[in-house]
Structure formats: structure tokens, C-alpha cells
């Protein structure tokens, strides 16, 4: 480092001399140094060396290496440093080669060949094959059975629908036949012709009932059959709801005195979902004028107890005919959901087909292709 500093000062002194003393006044002292005396140019130096060579041969030989060593020393130092760095890089590279050499890496001894596992591999593949086969067969049987069951349910409902349509084509039952009827199973959905009185004060309006997609009320009233002690609930028709005031009901005309009606024997009015069980209000009567006739559902047993009428609770009637008395009678057909069963059957059969395709591909086709490539 000292030698490098000296060389730097010499170069700066030389350039400052060429540029004048004003360029680098701090180096004027270095220019006056004996080794930078510019008066001693090579020609003068050669003359002096000749004189010294003649006068003092020993001194000349000693001083010559000194003057020669000044410019040569940095070069020698640079060469020595480069050789040292080269040697260090070579040693480092050898160290890296040792660490990256495959012989240096720790190796595990090769595992001995397990002949038992090789012998057990085919047996394991066979066991897996039969396990998948049994699972696929069970899935296939289950899906096919469920699909056939859905088809059978659809067939049952189609038969029921056909029976209902056939009942509608039969001639109407007379009043005496209806009074003598026990269980209404065989006579369900059949027309009947009755004569009696409307009990208008006990009329009930069933809320949230639709006809033609429009919400409204089913108007249900008890009908006292002439010449008997029986009363039956008749669904007279449908009226539209007042959307501004739900409790404001459209007027319905109820004929007074004996009337004759044509109706169809049906089950009691269907029940809709109720968010909370509330006590049923009393039927609107003359004695209780403040009671509301609007209800969500109608339980015939409860209504019989409230009204104290000799009411038949196993059936009700749906009045047929054109719209009259402020009522519409486009009764919706019973929803059997036959299309739903066909849709479910299609899904089950489709799943069975998918199981079959996957089994054939992965258990037969794929192994065969691998064997051919091998």
C-alpha cells in the first residue's frame, strides 16, 4: 500500500509539472525531489552514468538496480498479487469441486430387492379389481332399483289420475245414495246432486288460495241436506283478495231457502303451512258478529265443535258449474307430480350408466392399453 501511494504521488507530480506550478502547488515539493529532477533527462543521465562508470564502478553497479527498481517494483508487486489471487481462486474452485463431486455426496446403500412385495403385487391388484367390481355392481343394482321404483310410483299416480277422470264421467249420485254412503273411497271425485239450505252465517273464507295464479279466498259454507240431519261443507267457489285491505271481502250472493246444487265429492280442504299454531277463531255467527270469517286452514272436527252442527267430517263437496253469485269455479286439477317421478328415474338411470362407463374404462380399457404400450 505504501509503494502504491508513492507511485501515485510521482505521477501527480509529473503531470503537475507539465501543467505548471499553479495547477498543483501542493506537489511542488515532490517535483524537487531527487528522483523527479527533470533536469536529469535520459541524455544527461547517460553522461553521468558514463562518468560514474569510469570513476566508481562499484558505486555505479549498486546504484543502477536502485534506479531500475523504482518503475519495476509496482509491476512485480502486481504480478505477485495476481498470482496469489489466481492461486486462491484455484484452491477455492477445487474446494467447490470437492463439495459438488458425486463421490463426496453421501449415498445410501441400495435396498435389497423385495421378492415378497413383487410376488404380492399381482395379488393386490387382483384384490383391488374384485373390490372395485363388487362396489360397482352394488351401485349399479341400487341405482337401477331406485330408477324402477320411481317409474312404478309414476305408474301408480297415472293410474290414480285415470281413475279420477273415469269417476268424473259417471252419472251423478242421488241424494239418498249420498246419505247412505259409508266410506267415500269408491265414490270420491264423483258428481252428486243435492237439495238443501245454505247456512250463510257460518261461511268461512280460506286465505292464500289461488285460482289461475291469482291469490284470493275459497268460500266454504255448510249445506244442510233436506230431509236429513246431515250437514256437509261445500266449497262454493273462489273470490279475489282486495290487495289494499285484506279483510275487505268481495260480496257473495247466497240464495235463501231450498236450493239444488251439483257438486263433486272431494276430500276436506287442504291445509297450508302455518308459521305458528294459533287458536282458531269462532265461526262468524249472528251471536258473535265481531268474529272474523277469514282462516288459514279449516279443520272440520274443530269447526263441528264450534258450530255445533251435525257436520260430516270425512268429505267435502266442490260446487261445479259456471261462475255465478260472485264466485269462480275453475277448480285446479289435483297435482300428482308424475313428471317429478320421471325426472328422478332419469337421474338414477343416468347414474347407473355413468358407473358402468367408468368401470369399463378404468378396469378394462385402461389396463389393456397400458399392457399394449408395455
Q: What are phi and psi of 271, to 5 degrees?
A: -100, 135
Spatial CA neighbour of 194 closest among 257, 258, 262, 254:
262
Handedness of CA 100, 103, 104, 109 (dihedral sign): positive
Q: Which residues of the chain have pLDDT under 50?
A: 17-19, 21-24, 27-47, 49-51, 53-72, 75, 98-99, 104, 278-290
Q: Give 355-374 pLDDT, tens digit per residue.
A: 999 999 999 898 888 888 86
Spatial CA neighbour of 147 closest among 337, 339, 344:
344
Q: Which three cell numbers stand for residue 221?
A: 259454507
Eight-state DSSP code of residue 23: T
CA distance 81 to 248: 112
Q: What is the pTM of this model?
A: 0.57
CA distance 239 to 130: 66
Q: Which three cell numbers stand for residue 302?
A: 274443530
pLDDT at position 129, please? 87
Q: Give 120-149 pLDDT, tens digit per residue.
A: 567 777 888 899 999 999 999 999 999 999
CA distance 208 to 196: 29
Domain boundaries, the chain: 2-97, 124-169+337-374, 172-271+283-319
pLDDT at position 261, please? 95
Helical ranges in the chain per DSSP H: 2-19, 28-31, 42-55, 57-100, 115-168, 175-180, 300-307, 338-360, 366-373
pLDDT at position 273, please? 78
Number of H helices, E strands in the chain: 9, 7
Amino acid at each position: 500500500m505504501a509503494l502504491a501511494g508513492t507511485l501515485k504521488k510521482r505521477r501527480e507530480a509529473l503531470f503537475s509539472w507539465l501543467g505548471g506550478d499553479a495547477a498543483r502547488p501542493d506537489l511542488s515539493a515532490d517535483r524537487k525531489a531527487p528522483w523527479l529532477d527533470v533536469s536529469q533527462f535520459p541524455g544527461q543521465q547517460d553522461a553521468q552514468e558514463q562518468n560514474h562508470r569510469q570513476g566508481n564502478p562499484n558505486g555505479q553497479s549498486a546504484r543502477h538496480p536502485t534506479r531500475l527498481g523504482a518503475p519495476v517494483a509496482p509491476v512485480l508487486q502486481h504480478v505477485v498479487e495476481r498470482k496469489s489471487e489466481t492461486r486462491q481462486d484455484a484452491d477455492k474452485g477445487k474446494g467447490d469441486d470437492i463439495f459438488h463431486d458425486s463421490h463426496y455426496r453421501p449415498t445410501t446403500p441400495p435396498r435389497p430387492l423385495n421378492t415378497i412385495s413383487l410376488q404380492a403385487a399381482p395379488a393386490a391388484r387382483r384384490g383391488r379389481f374384485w373390490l372395485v367390481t363388487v362396489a360397482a355392481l352394488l351401485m349399479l343394482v341400487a341405482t337401477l332399483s331406485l330408477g324402477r321404483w320411481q317409474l312404478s310410483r309414476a305408474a301408480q299416480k297415472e293410474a290414480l289420475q285415470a281413475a279420477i277422470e273415469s269417476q268424473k264421467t259417471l252419472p251423478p249420485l242421488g241424494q239418498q245414495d249420498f246419505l247412505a254412503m259409508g266410506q267415500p273411497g269408491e265414490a270420491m271425485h264423483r258428481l252428486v246432486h243435492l237439495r238443501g239450505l245454505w247456512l250463510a252465517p257460518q261461511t268461512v273464507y280460506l286465505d292464500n288460495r289461488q285460482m289461475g295464479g291469482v291469490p284470493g279466498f275459497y268460500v266454504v259454507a255448510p249445506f244442510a241436506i233436506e230431509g236429513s240431519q246431515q250437514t256437509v261443507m261445500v266449497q262454493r267457489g273462489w273470490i279475489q283478495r282486495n290487495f289494499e285491505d285484506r279483510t275487505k271481502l268481495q260480496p257473495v250472493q247466497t240464495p235463501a231457502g231450498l236450493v239444488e246444487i251439483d257438486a263433486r265429492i272431494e276430500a276436506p280442504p287442504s291445509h297450508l303451512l302455518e308459521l305458528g299454531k294459533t287458536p282458531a277463531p269462532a265461526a262468524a255467527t249472528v251471536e258473535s258478529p265481531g268474529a272474523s270469517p277469514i282462516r288459514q286452514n279449516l279443520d272440520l272436527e274443530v269447526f263441528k265443535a264450534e258450530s255445533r252442527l251435525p257436520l260430516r267430517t270425512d268429505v267435502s263437496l266442490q260446487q261445479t258449474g259456471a261462475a255465478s253469485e260472485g264466485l269462480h269455479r275453475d277448480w285446479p286439477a289435483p297435482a300428482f307430480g308424475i313428471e317429478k317421478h320421471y325426472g328422478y328415474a332419469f337421474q338414477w338411470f343416468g347414474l347407473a350408466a355413468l358407473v358402468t362407463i367408468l368401470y369399463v374404462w378404468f378396469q378394462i380399457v385402461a389396463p389393456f392399453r397400458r399392457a399394449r404400450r408395455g
